[in-house]
A = this chain, B = another copy of it.
Amino acid sequence: MTIQDLFYPRAVAVTGSMAEGKLGYELVKQLVEGGAANIYACNPKRQSAFGVPAFENVSQIGQAVDLVVIASPAASVAGVLRECGAAGIRAAVVISSGFSETGNQAGEIELMQVARQFGIRVVGPNCAGIVNTAHHLFATLETRPPAGKMAFISQSGAFGGAVLSWAEEQGVGISKFVSYGNRADLDEIELLPYLAGDAETSVVALYIESVSDGRAFRQVVSEFTRVKPLVVIKSGRSKSGQRAALSHTGSMAGSDAVYEAVLAESGAIRVSSVEEMFDLCKGFTSLSCPKGNKIAIVTNSGGPGILTADQAERAGLEVGEISLDLKANLKGFLPPNCSLNNPIDLTVQGSGDQYQRTLTTVLNEFDSAVAINVATPYLDSLALASGIASAAQSSGKPVAANFMAGPVVKQSIRFLESNGIPNFPSGERAAVVLAHMARYARQADRVIPYPPAPAPAGESPRASGSIVLEPDAMAWLRRNGFPVPPFRLAATPDEALQACQAIGFPVVMKVVSPEILHKSDFGGVILNIQDESSAALAYAKLAGIARDKFFSGVIVYPMVMKTQEIILGISIDPQFGPVILLGAGGIYTEIMRDISIRLTPVSNQTAWTMVRELKSFPVLQGARGQAGGDLDALAALISKVSELPFLFPQVSELDINPVFLLAQGVLIGDIRVVLRR
């Protein structure tokens, strides 16, 4: 198993110049200072550094070497790798840069050809290296972090290095670290399954700017999060961010909304700052997850307790009232000036013993607690820390602390953290961590059904080039069993009147023209036509709109009366493939961003989850005396639409806007399809 070779090598060869200050020299220095055993230097000059044995190349070492760390010039890397392959080395970390990131794709392809030929697995090139604190392996130029239970995988080397530098100050230790640079070979797709089984790691943080294979990523993350929590920083939410990610990584970053949906569905916790990442990892590495949502807050100062309660509720926890039973218990040992609501305010007189008894009492009914100490120079914070630690230990439930602030609490924080109580700079941050942990615990055993993609079948809609006219698209949907209303195409005023009579008034009439795709914007849709004279006027108006354009006639539908409207869209994401978007509320979809997104196809169950995710769900379901819609029929439609891009691979875009949500069933109101050319 070569990932094991990577992290637990019996011996390590370093290639590259050993002149002082050069990469090879610095790498050997790090490895030696970090305490790795059996290090060898390899370079044409047989130059050594820090007294390690030196050889011209790896074949001469004569010992079993499991890992090579390559800092040789780009042009020589393939050759070095070939020697490593011949010498039986199966794991390589290529620190050297000068490959695809500078336009040298050929060099990277050559490197990987050699690696595949010899079965060598590669981290890099152009990476910041790897760390395994349990094996004293620091094959990186970055700061050597303290040991701990957090693993970190970073697409960016520099960012990875910054995280290692910051770990100690943030009070979090690192188990394993991988910076995979250009990801020519290994990335999170294979590292996550390995770390799922790694006894040294209890949480993984991942920094990505893009993924290599969207569907594989979703699968791996879904499986990983059933075993351990995964905290993800994915950059590039904004337009400018996406522009930069594009130029930065040379890979096309997918739409951020799709990443957001995939990460959420797969159970990953997405954060947007390094501080939040450390906060979560600190929580997950030091506490068990809360078994429920009820959080108690115990403080010696009202204000910070309230701010924490506010944030806890915003984050989804329940800051429930203290039960009468608990209150009676608390009154037995707390003075009358304490406030026994939640937050419980012990006042500035709160003692270590009171913290201990109060927390022990409330944790009988609550799932977790935040203990706040707003310290003053004249207060014995260490006694409070000790009371809190003892309550946490005896209750066995997660307790996070917020001791504020500065030098007066330094020693107490050290005491807390060495006793397994993480301290956070604010109660608010502690509450956010516990909220994420409770949510993670709730979802941990959930399995999402990813239905298999159906095989291509049948004919695409009739089209000229990439454009499909509405009648052709509707006919195609009807052939495929979709709920399409009756409709007629009419190319003359007489045909239009006949169509209206056949459909039955009131009707809707729309212009049909390959040059008018956004009909509403051009007044190309006329609603609620009640009689023949209105129909004649409507036809004349629509023909007028298309006067200078290619005019295929009008399409006539029955008028659907006031009903709720839904939007369904299919697009093809460059990273993740076909994606379905559900939006509610007509124009509100865009303005309120009331949408749900999934990779297709989706099962009926997932379709229902999407419907429930909409903010408008209560409205769709029927709120305030308004009738609800047939959401079973909607879910069935979502699931059926989600198969279209696989059944008809020529479809590159599809918009159904609106779907009419009726009391019984659903109806497709309009459709726009674009085919691949």
A62 contacts the other chain (Cβ, under 8 Å)?
no
Distance in angstroms between the alpha carbons of A408 and B158 in the assembled complex: 13
The digit string for A268-307, where 1 denotes a CB below 8 A from any CB of B, is 0000111100000000000000000000000011111111
The answer to whether A311 and B272 touch across the interface, beta carbons within 8 angstroms, is yes
Assuming A209-B302, A306-B236, is B624 touching A521 (CB within 8 A)? yes
A117 contacts the other chain (Cβ, under 8 Å)?
no
A374 contacts the other chain (Cβ, under 8 Å)?
yes
Q: Which of B235, B407, B591 contacts A165 (CB 8 A)?
A: B407
Distance in angstroms between the alpha carbons of A321 and B238 in the assembled complex: 13
A133 contacts the other chain (Cβ, under 8 Å)?
no
Interface residue ranges of A190-244 to B (CB < 8 Å): 207, 209, 233, 235-241, 243-244
Assuming A209-B303, A339-B247, A426-B275, is B587 touching A626 (CB within 8 A)? yes
Least CB distance, A365 to chain B, in whole angstroms: 15
**Which residues of B have CB within 8 Å of A626?**
587
Least CB distance, A613 to chain B, in whole angstroms: 13
The answer to whether A310 and B248 touch across the interface, beta carbons within 8 angstroms, is no
A319 contacts the other chain (Cβ, under 8 Å)?
yes
The answer to whether B301 and A162 touch across the interface, beta carbons within 8 angstroms, is yes
Which of A237, A248, A428 counts the most chain B CB atoms within 10 A? A248
The answer to whether B143 and A377 touch across the interface, beta carbons within 8 angstroms, is yes
A343 contacts the other chain (Cβ, under 8 Å)?
yes
**Which residues of B have CB within 8 Å of A390?**
none
Least CB distance, A134 to chain B, in whole angstroms: 22
A4 contacts the other chain (Cβ, under 8 Å)?
no
> Which of A49-57, A615-623, A669-677 makes up part of the contact surface?
A615-623
The answer to whether B615 and A243 touch across the interface, beta carbons within 8 angstroms, is no
The answer to whether B376 and A273 touch across the interface, beta carbons within 8 angstroms, is no
The answer to whether A245 and B306 touch across the interface, beta carbons within 8 angstroms, is yes
**Which residues of B have CB within 8 Å of A422?**
none
Distance in angstroms between the alpha carbons of A314 and B625 in the assembled complex: 37
The digit string for A575-595, where 1 denotes a CB below 8 A from any CB of B, is 000000000010110011010
Least CB distance, A154 to chain B, in whole angstroms: 8
Least CB distance, A579 to chain B, in whole angstroms: 21
Least CB distance, A100 to chain B, in whole angstroms: 13
Least CB distance, A386 to chain B, in whole angstroms: 20
Assuming A159-B303, A301-B158, A588-B588, is B521 touching A408 (CB within 8 A)? no
The digit string for A372-410, where 1 denotes a CB below 8 A from any CB of B, is 001111100000000000000000000000001111110
The answer to whether B587 and A624 touch across the interface, beta carbons within 8 angstroms, is yes
A337 contacts the other chain (Cβ, under 8 Å)?
yes
The answer to whether A591 and B562 touch across the interface, beta carbons within 8 angstroms, is no
- Nearest chain B residue, comparing its CB with the CB of A256: B310
Distance in angstroms between the alpha carbons of A374 and B142 in the assembled complex: 11
The answer to whether B592 and A615 touch across the interface, beta carbons within 8 angstroms, is yes
Q: Which of B155, B156, B275 contacts A425 (CB 8 A)?
A: B275
Distance in angstroms between the alpha carbons of A104 and B209 in the assembled complex: 61
Distance in angstroms between the alpha carbons of A198 and B629 in the assembled complex: 62
Assuming A408-B143, A521-B624, is B377 touching A162 (CB within 8 A)? no
Distance in angstroms between the alpha carbons of A243 and B340 in the assembled complex: 11
The answer to whether B165 and A273 touch across the interface, beta carbons within 8 angstroms, is no
The digit string for A508-549, where 1 denotes a CB below 8 A from any CB of B, is 000000000000110101000000000000000000000000
Distance in angstroms between the alpha carbons of A412 and B337 in the assembled complex: 48
- Nearest chain B residue, comparing its CB with the CB of A319: B240
Q: Which of B168, B237, B275, B302 contacts A156 (CB 8 A)?
A: B302
A148 contacts the other chain (Cβ, under 8 Å)?
no
The answer to whether A209 and B375 touch across the interface, beta carbons within 8 angstroms, is no
Assuming A142-B377, A624-B587, is B310 touching A168 (CB within 8 A)? no
Distance in angstroms between the alpha carbons of A163 and B311 in the assembled complex: 19
Q: Which of B248, B321, B615 contacts A591 (CB 8 A)?
A: B615
- Nearest chain B residue, comparing its CB with the CB of A588: B588
Q: Which of B233, B306, B320 contacts A248 (CB 8 A)?
A: B306
The answer to whether B339 and A625 touch across the interface, beta carbons within 8 angstroms, is no
A102 contacts the other chain (Cβ, under 8 Å)?
yes
Distance in angstroms between the alpha carbons of A161 and B310 in the assembled complex: 21
The answer to whether B342 and A376 touch across the interface, beta carbons within 8 angstroms, is no
- Nearest chain B residue, comparing its CB with the CB of A523: B625
A166 contacts the other chain (Cβ, under 8 Å)?
yes
A249 contacts the other chain (Cβ, under 8 Å)?
yes
Q: Which of B169, B248, B314 contacts A302 (CB 8 A)?
A: B248
A66 contacts the other chain (Cβ, under 8 Å)?
no
A26 contacts the other chain (Cβ, under 8 Å)?
yes
**Which residues of B have CB within 8 Å of A556?**
none
The answer to whether A240 and B585 touch across the interface, beta carbons within 8 angstroms, is no
The digit string for A100-116, where 1 denotes a CB below 8 A from any CB of B, is 00100000000000000
The answer to whether A307 and B162 touch across the interface, beta carbons within 8 angstroms, is no
- Nearest chain B residue, comparing its CB with the CB of A313: B238
A668 contacts the other chain (Cβ, under 8 Å)?
no
Distance in angstroms between the alpha carbons of A409 and B512 in the assembled complex: 65
A367 contacts the other chain (Cβ, under 8 Å)?
no
A470 contacts the other chain (Cβ, under 8 Å)?
no
Known: A158-B301, A159-B304, A591-B623. 19 other contacts (CB 8 A): A143-B377, A156-B302, A156-B304, A158-B376, A162-B304, A165-B375, A165-B409, A169-B405, A169-B406, A207-B303, A238-B314, A243-B321, A244-B345, A245-B306, A273-B311, A273-B429, A585-B588, A591-B618, A592-B615
List residues of A whose CB falls within 8 A of some B CB: 26, 102, 141-143, 154-156, 158-159, 161-163, 165-169, 207, 209, 233, 235-241, 243-245, 247-249, 272-275, 300-307, 309-314, 319-321, 337, 339, 341-343, 345, 348, 374-378, 404-409, 425-426, 428-429, 520-521, 523, 525, 562, 585, 587-588, 591-592, 594, 615-616, 618-619, 623-626
Query: Could you write out 28 A-B pairs with CB less than 8 Å apart?
Result: A141-B377, A142-B377, A158-B301, A162-B304, A165-B377, A166-B405, A209-B303, A233-B307, A235-B310, A237-B310, A239-B319, A240-B342, A241-B306, A241-B309, A241-B310, A244-B302, A244-B305, A244-B306, A244-B341, A244-B342, A244-B343, A248-B302, A249-B302, A525-B625, A588-B619, A591-B615, A591-B619, A592-B594
Please name the 4 residue pairs, one residue from A and one from B, whose CB atoms are nearest each other, closest first: A158-B301, A166-B405, A240-B319, A238-B313
